[in-house]
Amino acid sequence: MAHLAYKIKKMNKRTAHNLTWVPVFTIGVIACFLGAVWSLHKEPWLLDQSPNEVLLQTSFNNLFSEKINIGLPLYLTTVYRFLGLWLLTIGSLITVYVYVTRLGTKTSRNSIFVILIATLSGIYYLVFNYLPSSPLIPVLYFLSFCLFLSVFFSKYLTD
């Protein structure tokens, strides 16, 4: 065990640097992928149908069968396409920021870390308070793991 601690203390700077920027880059790529899926899916509200129906306390079939809700599918498609475009844009900004800076300075690392921590905290709040059965919870855990990994290995970088 002491040997492992010694190896971590003497970690190769290149390895630490790669384990700092690659996880954040991965977060950006996943955000782009999710944004593309929500933007291109024919009925994107069905991707997380079960937690939405729990939140609404009714099924989409009941909602869409009411005459007053005739425009609801179009509205939901528009909202989800906007969400998808927003995710695609944020994911692209993250990947480009990481690609350009490679998180080579302490300021660039800390800036993106603060933004991602605040964003993931807000998402955790919303998901666990309003959509606790969401199928995206494992994705949220993976994104958090990537961020933790990046923050952890950034400690081994000098400015």
What is the mean predicted confidence (pLDDT) over 115-139?
Answer: 96
The whole model's pTM is what? 0.90
For the cut 90, the answer to whether the pLDDT of residue 28 exceeds it is yes
Burial category of 27 from C-beta neighbours within 10 Å (exposed 0-12, middle 13-18, buried 19 and up): buried
Q: Hunting for tokens 């290149």 — which residue is that?
A: 14
CA–CA separation, 116 and 121 (whole Å): 8
Read off the DSSP letter of residue 156. T
Residue 159 lies in a domain: no
What is the mean predicted confidence (pLDDT) over 112-131?
Answer: 97
**pLDDT 10s digits, 37-65:** 999 999 999 999 999 999 999 999 999 99
Joined tokens for residue 18:
């790669």
pLDDT level of residue 11 (50, 70, 90 thresholds): confident
CA–CA separation, 138 and 23 (whole Å): 16
For the cut 60, the answer to whether the pLDDT of residue 6 exceeds it is no
DSSP 15-83: HHHHHHHHHHHHHHHHHHHHHHHHHH-SSGGGGGHHHHHHHHTS-HHHHHHSGGGTTHHHHHHHHHHHH
Which comes out higher in pLDDT, residue 68 or 8? 68
**Number of domains the chain is built from:** 1
CA–CA separation, 34 and 26 (whole Å): 12
Residues of the domain holding 137: 2-154
